[in-house]
């Protein structure tokens, strides 16, 4: 997909009556696959008048967004990526200004930007630059000027980059339609050219948007603009689309490997033995003949050779693993030799699954449990920092090596935020994990979040300490409202009250009642939280009013029966 075939572009900028042009603007149209993963970026910035380094500020803003945005992880959403870049740029401007050198004195700028990814437009805005949309011959202003008007004649800017450490960014997103045209302008233009004139200049020059842009800036100066004048016009002839045939061709680029037996060699990997096989995949222990290193090879089952959904999921597993570098997450091995078949290679972990460990250690001490749970949490945080949700955290998907290092494996159900916002002709399945460890909101069809992974971690913590799960083993969508937490103390009275309190909180049915951060849960597992101890010491009628009155009613019934029997 060629980006330049999708759009027409027009740009114009002039210093006007000023000695220096402090406006900056730019656009980046990447080729595939960056176009699919990150989209097209358009940005305009206006150095704040009266600031000594307005030109440097606007140039820095534009250059950093157009370069750093494309360096952010592909797994991040557009919103996360742009906001992190803008906040980092804002911090740099403030730190440079604080140094007090003349070159960096007065770094401040306004900014408006568009990212077009797949068929969605993402808008970001700070200050009084503007973005308009022309659709169906109607010009619509999409941004609000961040200005405070003291009087009809006097106003001042309320938001800009480089002014405060807290950067407030206006954000919006909407679907892109074929023919949508966007106009980005600085205040030297839109304060002197009304909407009707802007519309006319664009529609009169549909065949030459550069000319339209020049006529707009020229009109602004003719109408008395005493500021720099800059505008960009971008027309999308059609939304960026993914070609289904091209996607399928990429997925089927490599043939499925044959059934592998011990002694066979696959692209320089000698098969030692089969570790696991299912209807969907096979997993083998192998040796890299070049390095002598033991590795694991995962291959797809030939039963799914014509299933694009399965192929997409299988390829994504490797894609996900390559983007996480953490000691507590299974590592994908970089292949240096030419690949001839569809498979991927991971490190070999000599150890046992957490399930096996739990079977071998039915009565672990609290410190052992804390250590394992904390390592799992570190692995989860690595997923979450990349805006990924594992979605299938369970003892079978956790391995403990011979040195006691814990690693999360299996990325087959992992949801990637940045991928989710990319349109695809291939149907993406939202695979739920094992029901016992799946958060209630996911069973109700709500999207998984970081808090859903936290719920799974809480279930594992409870099971490690008690050998059981805190809810009935047969709960489903219809019975979720009846779920009742069974205190770990009912199974093992030696478990501290505050540990049970921490687990009780992280497995709350309502995700908003859980810990906001997994690190808080880890802290409460090792440090007594007074809140949980105080709750435990409250009278039953305060801790559980319904339970209190139910119990009282039962006692009353029992007492009446005894009285009747005595009579």
Q: Is the dihedral of CA 538, 539, 542, 546 positive or negative?
A: positive
Contact 73, 58 (CB under 8 A): no
Return phi, psi of residue 99, to 5°. -70, -20
Same structural domain, 180 and 260: no
Considering only 33-42, 238-247, 398-407, which range has the smallest mean pLDDT? Answer: 238-247
CA distance 291 to 285: 15
Q: pLDDT band at residue 1, thresholds of 50, 70 and 90? A: very low
- What residues contact 157, with CB distance under 8 A and at least 6 apart? 48, 110, 127, 128, 146, 147
Final residue in a domain of this structure, among 241, 271, 305? 241
Considering only 350-354, 427-431, 512-516, 521-525, which range has the smallest mean pLDDT? Answer: 427-431
Same structural domain, 441 and 375: yes
CA distance 454 to 504: 12
User: Could you give the 3-state DSSP secondary structure of residue 169?
Assistant: coil
CA dihedral 497, 498, 501, 503 (to 10 degrees): -110
Q: How much is the pLDDT for 5?
A: 62
Return phi, psi of residue 243, to 5°. -80, 120
Give tens-digit pLDDT for 71-84: 999 999 999 999 99
Q: How much is the pLDDT for 296?
A: 98
Considering only 147-161, 417-431, 433-447, which range has the smallest mean pLDDT? Answer: 417-431
**Structural domains of the chain, count:** 3
CA distance 367 to 526: 9
From the number of C-beta atoms within 10 Å of its C-beta (0-12, 13-18, 19+), residue 473 rates as exposed
CA distance 243 to 120: 17
User: Could you give the 3-state DSSP secondary structure of residue 319?
Assistant: helix
Same structural domain, 270 and 206: no
Q: pLDDT band at residue 89, thresholds of 50, 70 and 90? A: very high
User: Hey, what are 492's tokens?
Assistant: 């093992």
DSSP type of residue 371 = H
Same structural domain, 73 and 163: yes
Same structural domain, 204 and 230: yes
Same structural domain, 177 and 220: yes
Angle at 42 (CA atoms; ends 39, 48), nearest 5 degrees: 145
CA distance 140 to 134: 6
* 550 within some domain: no
Same structural domain, 291 and 375: no
CA distance 56 to 23: 10
Q: How much is the pLDDT for 201?
A: 97
* 561 within some domain: no
Beta strands in 348-433 (DSSP E): 351-353, 388-389, 398-401, 406-408, 415-416
- The residue written with tokens 């999708």 in the block is 6
* 115 within some domain: yes
- The residue written with tokens 């949309």 in the block is 133
One DSSP character per residue, 186-227 reads -HHHHTTS-HHHHHHHHHHTTT-HHHHHHHHHHHHHHTT--S
Give tens-digit pLDDT for 329-345: 999 999 889 999 999 99
pTM across the whole model = 0.85
Final residue in a domain of this structure, among 183, 206, 241? 241
**What's the CATH number where 52 sits?**
3.60.40.10
User: Could you give the 3-state DSSP secondary structure of residue 135?
Assistant: strand
Q: pLDDT band at residue 303, thresholds of 50, 70 and 90? A: confident
Mean pLDDT of the chain: 90
Same structural domain, 29 and 123: yes
One DSSP character per residue, 107-137 reads --EEEEEEEEETTEEEEEEESS-EEEEEETT
Considering only 203-217, 289-303, 548-562, which range has the smallest mean pLDDT? Answer: 548-562
- The residue written with tokens 């289904």 in the block is 244
* 41 within some domain: yes
CA distance 229 to 217: 6
* 410 within some domain: yes
**What's the CATH number where 338 sits?**
3.30.200.20
> Left (φ > 0), alpha (ψ -120 to 50) or beta: where does 474 sit?
alpha
CA distance 57 to 79: 22
Same structural domain, 287 and 359: no
Contact 161, 93 (CB under 8 A): yes
Q: Which helix (H) or strand (E) holds 171?
A: strand 170-175
Same structural domain, 388 and 456: yes
Over residues 529-541, the mean pLDDT reads 66
CA distance 298 to 318: 10
* 546 within some domain: no
CA distance 10 to 3: 15
Total number of residues shown for the chain: 567
- The residue written with tokens 């009780």 in the block is 504
CA distances from 17 to 46, 190, 442, 566 (A): 15, 16, 60, 106
CA distance 63 to 89: 10
CA distance 269 to 275: 15
Residue 548: pLDDT over 70: no
Beta bridge partners of 265: 270
Q: Which helix (H) or strand (E) holds 561?
A: helix 545-566
Q: Which is nearest to 306 in space by CA: 340, 255, 241, 258? A: 255
Residue 419: which domain range?
A: 351-528
DSSP type of residue 72 = S
* 301 within some domain: yes
Q: How much is the pLDDT for 415?
A: 94
How far separated are the first and last CA of the chain, in Å rounded?
A: 91
Q: Which helix (H) or strand (E) holds 139?
A: strand 138-141
User: Could you give the 3-state DSSP secondary structure of residue 318?
Assistant: helix
Q: Which is nearest to 203 in space by CA: 282, 136, 141, 300? A: 136
Contact 86, 396 (CB under 8 A): no
Final residue in a domain of this structure, among 215, 241, 267? 241
- What residues contact 477, with CB distance under 8 A and at least 6 apart? 443, 444
Over residues 191-197, the mean pLDDT reads 97
Same structural domain, 475 and 335: no
- What residues contact 130, with CB distance under 8 A and at least 6 apart? 112, 141, 142, 143, 145, 183, 184, 185, 187, 190
* 97 within some domain: yes
From the number of C-beta atoms within 10 Å of its C-beta (0-12, 13-18, 19+), residue 416 rates as buried
Same structural domain, 464 and 358: yes
**What's the CATH number where 461 sits?**
1.10.510.10
| pLDDT above 90 as % of the chain | 71
Q: Report whether the peptide linkage leading into residue 33 is cis, meaning its omega lies within 30 degrees of zero.
A: yes
């Amino acid at each position: 997909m060629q980006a330049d075939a999708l759009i027409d572009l027009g740009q114009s900028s002039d210093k006007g009556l000023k000695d220096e042009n402090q406006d900056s603007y730019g656009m980046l149209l990447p080729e595939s696959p960056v176009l699919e993963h990150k989209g097209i970026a358009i940005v305009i910035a206006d150095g704040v008048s009266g600031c000594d380094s307005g030109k440097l500020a606007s140039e820095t803003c534009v250059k950093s967004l157009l370069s750093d945005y494309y360096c952010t992880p592909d797994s991040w959403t557009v919103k996360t990526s742009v906001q992190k870049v803008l906040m980092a740029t804002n911090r740099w401007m403030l730190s440079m200004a604080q140094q007090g050198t003349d070159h960096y004195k007065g770094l401040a700028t306004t900014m408006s930007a568009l990212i077009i990814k797949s068929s969605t437009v993402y808008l970001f805005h700070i200050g009084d630059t503007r973005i308009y949309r022309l659709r169906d011959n109607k010009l619509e202003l999409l941004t609000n000027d961040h200005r405070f008007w003291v009087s009809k004649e006097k106003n001042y800017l309320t938001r800009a980059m480089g002014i405060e450490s807290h950067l407030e960014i206006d954000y919006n997103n909407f679907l892109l339609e074929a023919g949508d045209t966007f106009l980005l302008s600085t205040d030297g233009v839109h304060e002197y050219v009304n909407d009707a004139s802007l519309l006319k200049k664009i529609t009169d020059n549909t065949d030459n948007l550069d000319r339209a842009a020049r006529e707009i800036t020229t009109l602004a100066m003719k109408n008395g603009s005493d500021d720099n004048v800059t505008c960009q016009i971008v027309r999308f002839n059609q939304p960026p689309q993914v070609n289904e045939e091209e996607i399928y061709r990429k997925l089927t680029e490599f043939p499925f490997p044959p059934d592998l037996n011990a002694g066979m060699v696959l692209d320089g990997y000698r098969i030692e033995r089969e570790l696991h096989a299912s209807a969907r995949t096979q997993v083998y222990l192998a040796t890299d003949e070049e390095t002598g290193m033991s590795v694991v090879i995962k291959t797809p089952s030939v039963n799914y050779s014509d299933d694009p959904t399965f192929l997409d999921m299988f390829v994504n597993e490797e894609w996900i693993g390559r983007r996480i570098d953490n000691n507590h997450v299974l590592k994908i091995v970089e292949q240096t030799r030419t690949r001839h078949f569809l498979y991927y290679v991971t490190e070999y972990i000599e150890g046992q699954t957490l399930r096996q460990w739990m079977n071998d250690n039915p009565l672990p001490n609290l410190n052992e449990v804390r250590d394992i749970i904390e390592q799992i949490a570190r692995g989860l945080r690595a997923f979450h920092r990349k805006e990924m949700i594992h979605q299938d955290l369970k003892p079978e998907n956790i391995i403990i090596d011979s040195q006691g290092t814990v690693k999360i494996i299996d990325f087959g159900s992992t949801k990637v935020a940045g991928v989710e916002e990319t349109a695809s002709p291939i149907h993406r399945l939202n695979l739920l994990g094992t029901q016992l460890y799946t958060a209630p909101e996911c069973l109700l069809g709500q999207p998984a979040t970081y808090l859903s992974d936290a719920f799974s971690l809480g279930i594992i913590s409870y099971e490690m300490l008690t050998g059981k799960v805190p809810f009935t083993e047969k709960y489903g969508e219809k019975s979720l409202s009846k779920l009742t937490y069974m205190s770990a103390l009912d199974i093992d009275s030696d478990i501290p009250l505050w540990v049970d309190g921490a687990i009780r909180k992280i497995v709350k049915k309502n995700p908003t009642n859980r810990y906001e951060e997994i690190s808080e849960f880890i802290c409460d597992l090792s440090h007594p939280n007074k809140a949980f101890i105080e709750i435990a010491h409250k009278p039953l009628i305060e801790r559980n009013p319904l339970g209190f009155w139910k119990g009282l009613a039962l006692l009353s019934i029992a007492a009446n029966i005894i009285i009747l029997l005595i009579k």
